[in-house]
Amino acid sequence: MKNIVFALGLMFTSGSALAAEPLYLTFRLSNGEERSFRSTGLSMTVSGDMLLISNEETQAELSIGSLVSMRFTEKALSGVMEINDSDSVTVYSLKGEKVGEFKTAAIAEKTLPVGSYILKSADKSIKKIIK
Amino acid sequence: MRKFAYIYALLLPSFAVAETLNIRQGSVTYMIASDSADEMMFNDGKTLAVGGMVFDLTTVSRMFVDNALIPSEILVAYSGSGADVTVPVSSAVGASVEVNGAQVSIVTTAPLSVRVSGTSTVGQFALKTSEPVSVTLENLVLTNPSDAAVSLTGSGKVDLIISGENSLASGSASEKPTLRFKTPAEISGNGSLTVTAVAAAEKAIKSNDNLTISGGEITATVSGMALYDSTNKKVKATACIASDLDMLISGGTLNLTATGAGGKGISADGNLTVCGGDITIKTSGGMAVYSGSSLNQNYTGNTDRISSDLKTSPKGIKVDGSILISGGNIDVTTSGNGGEGIESKATLNISDGTITVCAYDDAINSSSHMYISGGDITVIAKNNDGLDSNGNMYISGGTIRAFGSQAPECGLDANEEQGYSVIFTGGMILGVGGNNSVPSSSASTQPYLTSSISLSAGQTLQIKDGSEILAEFTIPSDYSSSGNGGGWRPAPPMSRMSGMHTPPPAAAPPVMAPGGWGGPGGSQGGGVLVSLPTLVKGKSYTLTNGSSSSAATAK
């Protein structure tokens, strides 16, 4: 029992035992909506009036004119940006070649072979890695 | 076991990863920590405010998040024809940064620190500040062909810290100093800094304000010739370090070399204070004189009727104000025609330090009074005076070996023609030359001896009271009693008797003779003057140089 207590003590005091929580970069839009993106590896570029946002999992575009602010948050305030379950999607390869059309993103994820894809619904684009 | 793992999982503390938001504008990357970013506001889709800085979104090429550590100071890294700048937003509010190729410009209204490194042959680092800033040069090799390599301006004090091995240079087309200060500045650090200027009349290091040097190993070389400024109708020359105001040297090592006509080691329009550091200066250029429509870069004629604006002489240290030396080691050599060692256009005060000067002209000169209360001073003037005061020369302490040329020049020269005098109240004093000034005022309380004993390099002059040695002076190796018109040598008796003042031919061997060259007027001392605290007026002493001896009575 002493050994177990000692081991737990070590875990508490050791930095390596701490669990790292990812941050989110959360945008507040002029319509009051908030959108959070996992900040790890997040990249943003300005293209015309749009802010192109991407990381390993997501690719999105936000109108710069609709942006009020952005801030780091410890939680995804609107959830990580996802395509609505009921939306149909068109899937493209990272080279831009059309792979197929699916009734939902969930069906696409189950159907597609391992790889990275762009899933595009009527109003959102996200990057998806199928493992 | 599974139970323990479950407990561990429940108790395991979690923390948010501190990440860094990077905002890239051209070659500049601004960094801010996620935990200090707060809310970053977009304004009408045009700008983004982050941590007190506002970014024009049309100029932002990319923003990204990573785990990079944020530096505590602005980092400037030159590479070839470009430069990358990293700006920690939280410690650079009030600063604006522009990069154009390898031209980096920072303007700040707030205190900040900058570290500059890398290599470029077409670069410039310019900083303008209204607040105190720190600029560290770290292994920087920067050349600018047509302008200053480093330009620090404004009104806030700049601490320039030298780290590693640094080199700054400018090209022959540059009319600007290689390292320019237009704001109060201090140079310090443990690294080395080599500054080179090659253009005519260019300065290697120039300050338009007060400049302090407290550290670093600084090597400054200027090789340009003199220049006639037709606009201001003035002849200008190079300088290794120049200041329009005051200069203070309290530490560091300075190796300064000026090879062009009129080139100077240190030039200050204000006052110069030296209280530390090791300073070595060599100038080899001659005198430049503008006459008619041409500039003579090695003028050897008479300059008595030439306006000071139309001539410039090489000098180790030239100061328009006063010079105060209270420490440090100063070694000056001037070999070109007209080259003075150390010159103050006002008063000169030495209270400590080690000073060695070997000069073509006056070794140490002051336009007003000269005060020496301490220090170890050895000066050799090949063609003029060792110590030359145009006012009184007050010596109250220190060890002084002053070697001047033949009459009418001398080792110790106060402006007796204008009623001034040497005033000895202390110090170990040796003056060698044609017409050493002797005290003419009751204020001079320390007795002195005069003699015409011959001296040559390497000898030791002893002053004895009977068999007791009161003092020894070693004659420096640079001293020549007969070579090239330099140094002092006794006159043949016939000349002395006839009252001739013309020096003997340089080729004539030194001779032992009673009395040296007499000067105009009767107050000058013999070729050798000694004053010691232990001398008693009216008492006889013996001077020996190893092989010869001479008796003299203290006056």
Q: Which residues constitute the domain of residue A101?
A: 89-130
* B164, part of any domain: no
Whether residue A75 is found in the same domain as residue A99: no
Q: Which residues constitute the domain of residue B428?
A: 370-555
Instruction: Report helix, strand or coil for B512.
Output: coil
Q: Which of residues 75-104 of A touch B (CB under 8 A)?
A: none
Q: Which of residues 61-80 of B touch A (CB under 8 A)?
A: 61-66
Chain A closest CA to B111's CA: distance in Å? Answer: 27
* B502, part of any domain: yes
pLDDT at B518: 29
- C-alpha to C-alpha distances, B539 to B439, B441, B473, B531, nearest whole angstrom: 17, 20, 20, 13
pLDDT at B175: 82
Contact residues on chain B for A42, CB-CB shorter than 8 A? 64-65
Number of domains in chain A: 2
pLDDT digits (tens, 9 = 90+) for B110-128: 999 999 999 999 999 999 9
Nearest to A39 among B42, B61, B65 (CB): B65
Question: End-to-end alpha-carbon separation of chain A, Å?
Answer: 41
CB B198 within 8 A of CB B224: yes
* A14, part of any domain: no
Confidence of residue B155 (pLDDT cuts 50, 70, 90): very high
- Chain A residue with minimal CA distance to B47? A64
* A122, part of any domain: yes
Whether residue A27 is found in the same domain as residue A74: yes
* B142, part of any domain: no
Contact A23 B4 (CB under 8 A): no
Asked if B12 reaches chain A (Cβ–Cβ under 8 Å), the answer is yes
- Which of A81, A105, A120 marks a domain boundary? A81
Contact B14 A67 (CB under 8 A): no
Asked if B3 reaches chain A (Cβ–Cβ under 8 Å), the answer is no
Percent of chain B with pLDDT over 90: 78
Q: What is the DSSP letter of B148?
A: -
Average pLDDT over every residue of B130-159: 97
Nearest to A19 among B12, B44, B61 (CB): B12
* B399, part of any domain: yes
Contact A42 B65 (CB under 8 A): yes
Least confident range from A71-85, B136-150, B340-354, B423-437: namely A71-85
* A6, part of any domain: no
Residue A75 CA to residue A66 CA, distance in Å, equals 22
Confidence of residue A126 (pLDDT cuts 50, 70, 90): low
- Chain B residue with minimal CA distance to A73? B34
CB B522 within 8 A of CB B548: no
CB B313 within 8 A of CB B226: no
* B465, part of any domain: yes
pLDDT at A96: 66
Residue B274 CA to residue B352 CA, distance in Å, equals 10
Chain A closest CA to B45's CA: distance in Å? Answer: 4
pLDDT at B141: 98
Contact residues on chain B for A21, CB-CB shorter than 8 A? 14-17
Residue A114 CA to residue A94 CA, distance in Å, equals 13
* A33, part of any domain: yes
pLDDT at B38: 83
Q: CA angle A89-A93-A96, nearest 5°?
A: 95
Contact B66 A41 (CB under 8 A): yes
Number of domains in chain B: 1
pLDDT at B6: 45
pLDDT digits (tens, 9 = 90+) for B294-342: 999 999 988 888 999 999 999 999 999 999 999 999 999 999 999 999 9
Residue B297 CA to residue B225 CA, distance in Å, equals 7
pTM recorded for the entire structure: 0.82
Nearest to B17 among A23, A46, A71 (CB): A23
Q: What is the CATH number of the domain that holds A36?
A: 2.30.30
CB A122 within 8 A of CB A87: yes
Whether residue A26 is found in the same domain as residue A75: yes
- Chain B residue with minimal CA distance to A9? B8
Q: Does the CA dihedral B504-B506-B508-B512 come out positive or negative?
A: positive
pLDDT at A94: 61
Pairing of strands A67-73, B40-43: antiparallel
pLDDT digits (tens, 9 = 90+) for B49-58: 998 899 999 9
Asked if B14 reaches chain A (Cβ–Cβ under 8 Å), the answer is yes
Which residue of A13, A30, A54, A70 is the best one to mutate when testing the B interface, meaning the one whose CB has the most B CBs within 10 A? A70
pLDDT at B251: 98
* B125, part of any domain: no
Contact residues on chain A for B45, CB-CB shorter than 8 A? 49, 63-67
* B476, part of any domain: yes
Whether residue A68 is found in the same domain as residue A110: no
Nearest to B41 among A4, A41, A69 (CB): A69
Average pLDDT over every residue of B410-414: 92
Whether residue A36 is found in the same domain as residue A72: yes
ipTM beyond 0.90? no
- Interchain CB contacts (distance < 8 Å): A and B: 91
Whether residue A38 is found in the same domain as residue A60: yes
* A4, part of any domain: no
pLDDT at A81: 55
Nearest to A22 among B17, B21, B39 (CB): B17
* A44, part of any domain: yes
pLDDT at B381: 95
Asked if A74 reaches chain B (Cβ–Cβ under 8 Å), the answer is yes
pLDDT at A7: 46
Question: Residue B490 pLDDT > 80, yes or no?
Answer: no
Chain B closest CA to A41's CA: distance in Å? Answer: 6
* A7, part of any domain: no
Confidence of residue A125 (pLDDT cuts 50, 70, 90): low
pLDDT at B301: 87
- Chain B residue with minimal CA distance to A20? B15
Q: What is the DSSP letter of A22?
A: P
Question: Residue B15 pLDDT > 60, yes or no?
Answer: no
Contact A71 B38 (CB under 8 A): yes
Give chain A's largest Cα–Cα span: 64
Give the CA count within 13 Å in the CB-facing half-sphere of B394. Answer: 12
pLDDT digits (tens, 9 = 90+) for B432-463: 988 899 999 899 999 999 998 988 889 999 99
* B414, part of any domain: yes
Contact A42 B17 (CB under 8 A): no
Nearest to B12 among A17, A25, A40 (CB): A17
Range with the largest mean pLDDT of A9-13, B200-204, B416-420? B200-204
* A125, part of any domain: yes
Q: What are phi and psi of B497, to 5 degrees?
A: -70, -35
Contact B19 A72 (CB under 8 A): yes
Judge residue B489's burial from the number of C-beta atoms within 10 Å of its C-beta, 0-12 exposed, 13-18 middle, 19 or more buried: buried
